[in-house]
């Protein structure tokens, strides 16, 4: 089904609302920085639990725009939760992000180097949207490091109609002021506009050079227990993706939110956190 550009933009506005609450949240968990091979990573680490997990935000996403309910809601006696600003996003700059056709692979490698730098050799991955793609690649490439995998709002390839939808909102001037301003706060208007346009261009390059494939061929290499969550009214990620992941990741389980959209971890935070934590703690 064709989805209009207007519907695509609306989940972004939901994400952006959380940015305005950053200051109150920042007192709860302290941001730190650590150097890795290709730059510096800004992150938050909370909890003292034996089960370590890394939360990976989506495109242009940061610790506080996307990980706040998990930072506040995960059981800190059972989990040690790490949330990063992905390389080139948020405060994990410089260097700036380069949206080449291999940037997901580079982020997956960076996540591995990052967790090594933190001296956490075994961990689970919680990947949202673009962060989910990075997590899929990471789990396939570094199976010995990954305990369990959780992904939501995630795809392993790009559909033709999805690419067309991205292109319709390439120019941030087409966004409403309410949706644009929070990301301008993080990046500045010039960098935000450049990043978003380059992200869309990166998706188009992936589509043209790889026939829309991002990492579909790697799904068979994911051997860890995997939990796929999906909002059935997601305007950004077609339902075929959740089905494809479930079919091609051996032994994976799936949970659907019938009224959910893209940011189910924000909209249904309590239920989401409970389901994910139960999955992670299950022997």
Give the domain ranges of the chain: 24-157+215-281
- pLDDT tens-digit readout, 51-110: 999 999 999 999 999 999 999 999 999 999 999 999 999 999 999 999 999 999 999 999
Cα separation values, 258 from 15, 92, 200, 262, 263, Å: 20, 35, 28, 12, 13
Taking the C-alpha atoms of residue 272 and residue 72, their distance in angstroms, rounded to an integer, is 13
pTM of the shown model: 0.90
Q: Residue 10's pLDDT is what?
A: 39
- pLDDT tens-digit readout, 247-257: 999 999 999 99
Pairing of β 123-128 and β 51-56: parallel
Q: Where are the strands (E) in the chain, listed by range?
A: 31-36, 39-46, 51-56, 79-84, 123-128, 146-152, 226-231, 253-257
Catalytic residues: 129, 234, 262
pLDDT-derived band at 28 (thresholds 50, 70, 90) equals low
Q: Residue 181's pLDDT is what?
A: 81
Among 11-25, 129-143, 206-220, 233-247, which stretch is predicted with the lowest mean pLDDT? 11-25
Q: Under CATH, domain 24-157+215-281 is a member of which superfamily? A: Alpha/Beta hydrolase fold, catalytic domain (3.40.50.1820)
């Amino acid at each position: 089904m064709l989805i209009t550009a207007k519907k695509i933009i609306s989940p972004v506005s939901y994400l952006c609302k959380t940015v305005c609450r950053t200051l109150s949240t920042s007192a709860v968990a302290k941001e730190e920085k650590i150097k890795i091979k290709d730059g510096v990573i800004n992150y938050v680490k909370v909890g003292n639990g034996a089960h370590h997990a890394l939360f990976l935000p989506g495109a242009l996403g940061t610790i506080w725009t996307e990980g706040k309910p998990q930072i506040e809601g995960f059981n800190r006696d059972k989990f040690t939760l790490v949330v990063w600003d992905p390389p080139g996003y948020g405060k994990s700059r410089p260097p700036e992000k380069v949206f080449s056709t291999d940037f997901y692979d580079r982020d997956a490698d960076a996540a591995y180097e990052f967790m090594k730098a933190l001296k956490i050799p075994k961990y689970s991955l919680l990947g949202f949207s673009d962060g989910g793609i990075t997590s899929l690649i990471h789990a396939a490439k570094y199976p010995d490091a990954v305990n369990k995998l959780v992904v939501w709002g995630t795809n392993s390839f790009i559909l033709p109609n999805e690419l067309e939808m991205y292109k319709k909102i390439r120019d941030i001037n087409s966004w409403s002021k309410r949706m644009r301003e929070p990301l301008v706060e993080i990046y500045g208007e010039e960098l935000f506009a450049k990043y978003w346009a380059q992200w869309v261009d990166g998706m188009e390059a992936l589509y043209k050079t790889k026939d829309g494939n991002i990492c579909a061929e790697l799904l068979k290499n994911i051997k860890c227990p995997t939990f796929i969550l999906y909002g059935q009214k997601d305007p950004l990620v077609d339902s075929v993706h959740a089905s494809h992941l479930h079919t091609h990741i051996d032994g994976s389980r799936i949970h659907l939110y019938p009224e959910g959209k893209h940011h189910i971890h924000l909209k249904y935070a309590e239920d989401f956190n409970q389901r994910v934590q139960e999955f992670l703690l299950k022997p």
